[in-house]
Amino acid sequence: MSKPELWVVAERRLDHIEPTTQQLITKAKHLAGDQMHTVAVLFEATTDHLEDELKAYGPDEIRIVKDDRFPTATDAEIADALQQLVTSNEPNSILFGATITGRSIAPRLQAKLQTGLTADCLDLRFDDDTLVATKPSYGDNIMCEIICPDHRPQMATVRPNTFVAEPTDGAATVTTATITFHPVKRLQVKTATPVVNTATTVGDASRVVALGRGAASATTINTATKLAEKLGGRIGVSRPLTDQERFTHDDQIGQSGNTIHPELILNFGISGAVQFLVGMQDSQTIVAVNSDPDAPIFDVADYGYVGDASAFMTALLSQFN
């Protein structure tokens, strides 16, 4: 008997694969073990070779559907193509990135298939062949495990950067599948003008200087900016600092912000609320500076200093001069 299939729907960003796809393939392989067959499903133009960016992450199979209309296909058209593939292959589970595109295609497919979808997950596991998806719920105050016991496929969208993409030396089999492309006339993409953001984000930085309410003065932020530059890193913030004009939601670390895994994170004046910790607790080395010795941030810190954030930062910066 063939193994049940665990799919990752590959997402395209400009002419490349969106990194969440590679992160999900790595997670899918861990979840599948020997029990399931991991398939990356890729829609691309006849001349595209985006599968080359998937092979290194070692899904068992890359199943490609080619049509020159795919690069500008609408989410409804992709959902229709997926429905056809699901009907002919009957996967056990399907994973999408919780990106703007994934969040648009997955619910369309879910409605067509009349199955369950758990959105914006932070973890996944299997209990036999039941997908157990963990997601923040009830105003993001608790983590819920959600299952879909009676319908297949089981579907989930997973927040970007929740998992780390790990290249493997496994070889993926590349196959092709065919569907009938059904244009959805209501909406047509005439041209695509990508927003190109060349700035690195806090999610991409390997060293992060994280600032909280206890390190929020203009002087402290200026010192932190210099420190981040010296470290070759970037500033990230806890949620209260996004009220300041110079920070946005893109700079926020945590449950409703970015999930990050830098090699080093220095936390200044951050208490360590669970909503913050969930976004950074898998960082390789965690340093915390806080004037309160009982601050929960110290529970996850590899190195801690009880004292004033600004004074510590100034002393650290002076070591670089």
Ligand X SMILES: Cc1cc2nc3c(=O)[nH]c(=O)nc-3n(C[C@H](O)[C@H](O)[C@H](O)COP(=O)(O)OP(=O)(O)OC[C@H]3O[C@@H](n4cnc5c(N)ncnc54)[C@H](O)[C@@H]3O)c2cc1C
Please indicate if the annotation marks 254 as binding a ligand: yes
Please indicate if the annotation marks 186 as binding a ligand: no
Q: How far is the CB of 220 from ligand X (least distance, A)?
A: 8
Please indicate if the annotation marks 238 as binding a ligand: yes
Of the candidates 209, 15, 177, 154, the one whose C-alpha atom is nearest the C-alpha of residue 88 is: 177
Nearer of residues 97 and 279 to ligand X, judged by Cβ: 279
Beta bridge partner(s), residue 268: 211, 289
DSSP state of 73: -
Beta bridge partner(s), residue 49: none
Nearer of residues 78 and 202 to ligand X, judged by Cβ: 202
Residues 240-299 that bind ligand X (CB under 6 A): 240, 252-257, 269-271, 273, 275-276, 279, 289-292, 295
Q: How far is the CB of 107 from ligand X (least distance, A)?
A: 21
Please indicate if the annotation marks 310 as binding a ligand: no
Please indicate if the annotation marks 214 as binding a ligand: no
Nearer of residues 178 and 248 to ligand X, judged by Cβ: 248
Angle at CA 278, nearest 5°, toward 269 and 284?
80
Residues 58-77 that bind ligand X (CB under 6 A): none
Please indicate if the annotation marks 137 as binding a ligand: no
Q: How far is the CB of 201 from ligand X (least distance, A)?
A: 15
Please indicate if the annotation marks 290 as binding a ligand: yes
Beta strands in the chain (DSSP E): 5-9, 12-13, 16-17, 37-44, 61-66, 93-97, 117-121, 123-127, 130-137, 142-146, 154-158, 173-176, 207-211, 234-237, 264-268, 285-290, 303-306
What is the β-pairing status of strands 12-13 and 234-237? Answer: unpaired
CA distances from 169 to 59, 70, 172, 189, 302 (A): 11, 29, 9, 38, 32
Residues 224-243 that bind ligand X (CB under 6 A): 238-240
Binders of ligand X: how many residues, by CB under 6 A? 28
DSSP state of 240: G
What backbone torsions phi and psi does residue 78 show, to the nearest 5 degrees?
Answer: -65, -40
| String of contacts with ligand X for each residue 29-48, x by CB under 6 A | --------------------
Does 208 participate in binding ligand X (rule CB under 6 A)? no
CA distances from 101 to 3, 133, 157 (A): 29, 20, 10
The answer to whether the CB of 69 falls within 8 A of the CB of 81 is: no
The one among 66, 112, 213, 230 contacting ligand X by CB under 6 A? 213
Q: How far is the CB of 59 from ligand X (least distance, A)?
A: 31
Whole-angstrom distance, CA of residue 68 vs CA of residue 25? 25
Please indicate if the annotation marks 244 as binding a ligand: no
Binding-site residues for FAD: 213, 238-239, 252-256, 290
**Which residues are near ligand X by CB under 6 A?**
139-140, 212-214, 238-240, 252-257, 269-271, 273, 275-276, 279, 289-292, 295, 308-309
